[in-house]
Chain A
Amino acid sequence: MTSPLEQKKIKITGPSIVTANRTWDGVVIYRTAGKDWSTDLSEAAIVRAADEARALLAESMADDLGAIGPYIAPVEIGEDGKIEPGNLREQIRLSGVTIGLPVQA
């Protein structure tokens, strides 16, 4: 999982979204088609081309107060239209750590 921090250029190979962390608490958020943020991946705006991705990222970055560190991440779209994370990093960001926490919530 190459860190998004090391991404040098935008390369889209399939459906993608823009994700970030919410500024006040750091929670994982996704950019929606309504130019807002949601913690629900199913509400994320899907882009499929580099131009679209660049535009969505630029719009997301303009919201400096709402979100920190926006970047483009791959997703997979199931047959039922469900949006799933496209790699392990995004799976972990969506679902949480893959280990039991020392203290259960």
Chain B
Amino acid sequence: MYAYDEIDRTLVNERVEEFRDQVKRRLSGELTEDEFKMLRLQNGVYLQLHAYMFRVAIPYGTLSSQQLRRLAHVARRYDRGYGHFTTRQNIQFNWIKLAELPDALADLAEVGIHAMQTSGNNTRNVTSDQWAGVAPGEIEDPRIWAEILRQYTTLHPEFSFLPRKFKFAITASEHDRAAVKIHDIGLRLHKNAEGETGFEVLVGGGLGRTPFIGKTIKPFVVGSDLLSYVEAIMRVYNQYGRRDNIYKARIKILVHELGIEKFAHEVEEEWQQMRDGALKLDEDVVEDIRARFFYPAYEKLAHVPDELRKAAHDPQFEAWRKNSVFPHKVQGYSIVTISLKPVGGPPGDATAEQMDTLADLADKYSFGEIRVGHEQNLALPHVAKRDLPALWKALDKAGLATPNVNLVSDIIACPGLDYCSLANARSIPIAQELTRRFANHDTANLIGRLHINISGCINACGHHHVGHIGILGVEKNGEEFYQITIGGRADENAELGALIGPAVPYGDVADVVEDIVEAYLVLRARPDELFVDTVKRLGVEPFRERVYATR
């Protein structure tokens, strides 16, 4: 956990009072909606179909139990008793009243939570690996650098009015759980041939209307140069990025139009002028941030405790353990992923009661810490293996032990037309139907790892381009249709999926996905060849034939 200092606390509290005054002026008519819109967006307040939506920042997906309890309180007191965890590790409340928002923000500020960097044409919440700090083999905890970037970018005057929103993601593991290649700037901590630690910097990734996989602009930047290099990139973007066309305003378009070599050249020229200036990070500053991260006092525990051996006789526990429990860097501990994808449920939603329960379980079993993953699941990052059976029982009781992590029913979905004013089609009911179709755990296990991503419009909040199976809602003559892509992935081998054919109507989507999965089971070279690898090997044609032969 990162502990805020006095400056952070003051900033958060002042922001609440500033927004309280802005809301008061809006409700009195002193501010028009045109004047107020940017102010509310900079505090995470959108307007959706039925109500305002309030997006709260969870920097790099790390929450304390106290903070999660406070989110539950906001859900209960100001909303309708639940929240929705997003693909950028934030949480959204869908039914909040503008008049009550300042009070909600004030309640959150008491535990160091705010809504800065959740909206607007500025730098957004810096996301990271939800296993940061506990993943085996990690170079170092990437959240230290995410926090440095958070502090540097928050309210940065030069980057508060960018051509468009700007997203960072950072990972320090070989396996990329933070999807760094689909971000405006992706950072991968690694060691060079000399054994020094630094960043591979990727730029120009992104999804939406015009998807691109990020390109490496510099293979190695040392930590002390990180801020100056990032600032050089953002200055070039700020100078050349298009402000005349919202669809061409993201950095990915600039990188694409200039070409990575020319863009890199511009950045290099900018950087050489400033690299040894005020943004040079000295080790004391980094150490100061590092020192504000608190890590648990782990016990020396057995690799396989008796409790785990005994519980292994329970097939339900074993099904959950094999699916949801992952190796930890410390012997005797595990990382536990909490699926927020129950059969028939909306992906990523958690009730206030579930949040409270998880906060209690985090206190009891995970040193009071919870993580949010971009896959819209949560994680308890420090669970002693001896506690796994007791934790499972408690999670199961709260409806939080669905053993489907990384399986076909672990679906990423945006809120879609049920909530969102930008959407063209619904996402959640499609996800719900698919979870019912693939509810059988044995079948899901037979299929193996398969990520389905659903977006209700081209803005791609459900990351459909990088789903193993991607589903995009479109509108045709007033009806909901869905384009299906296959072969996308968001990890270190990120790729955009390929369209398999014409869009299909709402009622056919689940059948089409079943056809694709059945084709995969026939076509895969061996049982452990993943769906996405079969598509890579064979291309889309065999799947296209299967889906459209009878349609």
Contacts and interface: CB of A to CB of B under 8 A. Distances in A.
Interface stretch (A30-38, A42-50, A51-59, A93-101): A93-101
A101 B352 CA distance: 13
Interface string A86-104: 0111001100111101110
Contacts of B346: 99, 102
A88 B418 contact: no
B33 A68 contact: yes
Interface string B31-49: 0110000000000000111
Interface string B11-53: 0000000000000001101001100000000000001111110
A25 B29 CA distance: 15
Contacts of B80: 101, 103, 105
B73 interface: no
B425 interface: yes
Interface in A1-37: 1-5, 21, 23-28
B421 A3 contact: yes
A64 B424 contact: no
A37 to B, nearest CB: 15
Interface in B430-452: 432
A99 B419 CA distance: 11
Contacts, number: 94
A24 B33 contact: no
Given A64-B32, A89-B49, A1 B480 contact: yes
Contact of B49 (A24, A87, A93, A105): A93
Given A1-B475, A88-B417, A103 B352 contact: yes
A98 B26 contact: no
B417 A23 contact: no
B74 interface: no
A68 B99 CA distance: 14
B97 A3 contact: no
A3 B422 contact: yes
Contacts of B352: 103
Interface in B341-368: 345-346, 349-352
B247 to A, nearest CB: 11
A103 B351 contact: yes
Nearest to A3: B422
Contacts of A92: 49-50, 417-418
Contacts of B432: 99
B98 interface: yes
B428 A21 contact: no
Contacts of B418: 92, 97-99
Q: How large is the interface on A (under 10, 10 to 19, 20 to 34, 35 or more residues)?
A: 20 to 34
B271 interface: no
A25 B99 contact: yes
Contacts of B51: 21, 25-27
A40 to B, nearest CB: 15
B426 interface: yes
A26 B48 CA distance: 8
A28 B97 CA distance: 12
A82 B99 CA distance: 33
A28 B426 contact: no
Contact of B81 (A26, A98, A102): A102
B145 interface: no
Given A2-B475, A23-B98, A24-B99, A102 B82 contact: yes
Contacts of B98: 23-26
A30 to B, nearest CB: 14
Contact of B47 (A1, A21, A102): A21
Interface string B467-483: 00000000100101000
B21 to A, nearest CB: 16
B416 to A, nearest CB: 10
Contacts of B29: 64-65
B457 interface: yes
B462 to A, nearest CB: 15
Contacts of B49: 28, 89, 92-93
Given A102-B346, A103-B351, A23 B421 contact: no
Contacts of A21: 47, 50-52
B539 interface: no
A68 to B, nearest CB: 5
A99 B97 CA distance: 22
A68 B29 CA distance: 12
A90 to B, nearest CB: 9
A98 B415 CA distance: 12
A103 B457 CA distance: 26
Contacts of B82: 101-103
Contact of A26 (B52, B345, B417): B52
Task: State the 8 A-B residue pairs at the shortest beta-carbon distance, nearest first.
Answer: A103-B81, A26-B51, A25-B97, A97-B418, A102-B82, A26-B52, A65-B29, A24-B99
6 contacts: A24-B27, A25-B97, A26-B47, A26-B48, A97-B419, A103-B81
Given A1-B417, A21-B52, A88-B417, 14 more contacts: A1-B424, A1-B475, A3-B423, A23-B33, A23-B98, A25-B52, A25-B97, A25-B99, A28-B50, A64-B33, A97-B428, A98-B418, A101-B80, A102-B349
